[in-house]
Structure 1
Amino acid sequence: MSWISNTFSSSIGRKIVMAVTGLFLCSFLVVHLVGNLQLFKNDGGLAFNAYSEFMSHNTIIRIMEIGLVLGFGFHIYEGLLLATKNKAARGSKYVSDHIEQNSPWHSRNMAVLGSIVLFFLVVHLYNFFGTLRFGTPLVDAQGNENAYALVVDAFHNIFYVVLYVLAQFALLYHLLHGFQSAFQTLGLNHRKYTPVIKLVGVVFSIVVCAGFAAMPIYFYFFK
């Protein structure tokens, strides 16, 4: 088993862990966005509350949440380690300046962007899941916990709306580099297919982040 520990403690191994967990979290973003689009239904929140109830009490989903938490944990841990090692490996100011001139800003600041997203996630989970599971939530007409009411209330707080939108910009730039980089790390890098992967990554990043950012803006200005 030593070869496994040696592999995943190496720089290449850590990058593979980052790539796999990153793509796994991308799939979570899609599922989460599709579910949250129920917020835009003009039904007083019934569809969103039913979705929230299903996600909160389904045994399979609860088990998958453990995998999700582990995915986030590994991704954050390995990301911080890689950022620290990369910073130390840059060496002289000449090398550092050369790297900065030949790479976009967001690719050099993935740890910063990820930290902003992490801070937002902590606030987000506290606001919604903490209130639903440890508070005394209202119920809707179907008897489901009224998560929709929590969303409406949160998205009428200008500070939370600003934080939410800024976090989506940070996530956008994090994904712009991370999506294509993950495929490259896994060896899926080809002269013919790489431009397609980059295009898909850009479209994916914009659509997902714009979808999430639209929610607080919609509720703050139109609900």
Structure 2
Amino acid sequence: MTASDTQSEALKRRGLMFVLSSPSGAGKTTISRMLLEADEAIKLSVSVTTRSPRPGERDGVHYHFVDDATFDRMVEEDDFYEWAHVFGHRYGTPKGHIRSALKDGQDFLFDIDWQGTQQLYQKDRQDVVSVFILPPSIAELRRRLEARAQDNPAVIQSRMDRARAEISHWAEYEYVVINDDVDECFRKVREILHAERMERTRQTGLIPFVRELMGTDPSPQVAPSI
């Protein structure tokens, strides 16, 4: 590999906010986990929530768990990129170090709904890449929710009603993937991420690199006279 090849691979770029949304049970949590395990260059954006931890969830890893008063203060101080009410609780994305990390090329994964995605667009549209994951059918979506065995029938019906409402916003996303096979869905999502990383305006190191290419004109080798 030449020095030029090494330099081109190391070109600086701006990070992106990679949004995965789907109705509950369509697979975004599974795809998110697979992406984080397979790609060390992307980190999960850890949301703040007012709900209580579920079994196995850890504060600061899965969510930042706070009380209502703390959440209210963060809203008043404009500490969120976005926040929304979901099933009786509030969820929000803290700005924190995200903006400065984006400048350094760090990518962030967002597991949020369509409302949160719209708020992200309003604040930093140029950094957002949005993907909506659809189930193969409503019947399959219900089957997946029932297979969890975590919710009673009333809660499942509530999630199904909300799913239909969320699906109605599919056209607001840049990419839409149907999750009829989790491995194939993951492959498509990862291809989207790779392509967006190469987007011209996101590669901030291209301008100086191309200028150097255009300004470098090695002198032709002149054969010595005999």
TM-score, with normalisation over the residues of structure 2?
0.25
- Richer in strand (by share): 2
When Rg is computed on C-alpha atoms for both structures, the one with the higher figure is 2
Could you say which structure has the greater relative contact order, defined with CA pairs below 8 angstroms and 6 or more residues apart? 2
- Richer in helix (by share): 1
